[in-house]
Chain A
Amino acid sequence: MENKNNFISAIKAAFPHTVPVMTGYLFLGISYGIYMKVSGFSFLYPMLMAITIFGGSLEFLAVSLLLSTFAPLQTFLIALVIQARHLFYGLAMLEKYKNTGLKKLYLIFSLTDETFSINCSTPVPEGTEKGKFYLAVSLLDQSYWVTGATLGGILGSFIPFNTEGLDFVMTAMFVVIFIEQWLKEKKHYTALIGVFCSVFCLVIFGAESFIIPTMVCIFGMLSFFRRPIEKAGGFE
């Protein structure tokens, strides 16, 4: 009972931090469900894929993969490329997710862009156990996504008001967290490296294939400039 109450209070502590993601996930999830529905799939598909894959961009792409010829190996490779950025999230969360027991399995399974954003940038509220807080954020986020995807799949293209541009809420969230990260650093080296590598690779490699070159580029520059970056400090 004690345990259960603890978790409910963790949910209460986590909820306000997940409101932006709720907006974004419900909207994007509904769009994704609609997209699957109009592509000829029952609502069970977006619902089950939201539960098992839980990765927005790949789920959108999976629609076209499901509609083309069966090619499992190619699907696997495409999925790896799209999801490669999670490798960085894992590295950044190694310390924070330490000593969270069995919860850790779900925390890692559900490490999306948005869940990473919250758990990486939000200090655990006082009086809440670390593992429970992270678990609450992750569970809430996935419940938004599954709800959105399922609703979209059921409703089809019936939406009563003009939502064009609502997806900007995710961009806005990343901009805000980026500014917070920027302000933490005294010399902004790592933030600048991120901006430079992303823009440079986007221009060179194009929108469809710039993620992996950017990751390599960021990794290379962070390794190369390790000493001045550590000396400048302030990014913890």
Chain B
Amino acid sequence: MTLSEEIITIGMCVLATLLTRFLPFLLFSEKKKTPKFIEYLGKALPAAIFALLVVYCLKNVDITAGSHGIPEFIAVLVVAVLHLWKRKILLSMTGGTFCYMFLVQFIF
């Protein structure tokens, strides 16, 4: 690729990203009343989105090969148990991450 082709390629990535981020705000402006259904979606979506993000992070885990997803399973469990126990976000995250690093570096 030439430099200008590279710039256009990166520009396309920027454009697509801007479109997906701005579209909801352009469709439902502050001036007009947001439709009730969209307001409902805004409230109902977060929990579903975070489920999707967790699955998205774990999407390449192969339970049929390699370490069979055992380190991921244990580490997620550690995060959940720590969090339900202490409700301290940083503690749950660091605990789970160190556990995962230990598992993939020394055990599996």
Contacts and interface: CB of A to CB of B under 8 A. Distances in A.
Do A and B pair up? The answer is yes
SS class, residues of chain B in contact with chain A: helix
A83 interface: yes
Contact of A108 (B1, B22, B56): B22
Given A95-B39, A98-B30, A176-B79, A90 B23 contact: yes
Interface residues of A, number: 93
B64 interface: no
B9 A66 contact: yes
Interface string B15-43: 11111111111001010001001111111
B48 A218 contact: yes
B96 A175 contact: yes
B65 interface: no
Contacts of B9: 62, 65-66, 70, 72, 75
Given A58-B13, A75-B12, A165-B100, 15 more contacts: A66-B1, A79-B13, A79-B15, A91-B38, A108-B25, A116-B49, A164-B101, A166-B97, A172-B75, A172-B96, A178-B51, A178-B53, A195-B55, A218-B48, A223-B37
Interface of B: 1, 5-6, 8-10, 12-25, 28, 30, 34, 37-60, 71-72, 75-76, 79-80, 83-84, 89-90, 92-93, 96-97, 100-105
A75 to B, nearest CB: 4
Interface of A: 19-20, 23, 48-49, 52-55, 58-59, 62, 65-66, 69-70, 72-73, 75-77, 79-80, 83-95, 97-99, 104, 108-109, 111, 113, 116-117, 120-121, 162-166, 168-179, 181-182, 184-185, 188, 190-191, 193-195, 197-199, 202, 207, 210-211, 214-215, 218-219, 222-223, 226, 229-230, 235-236
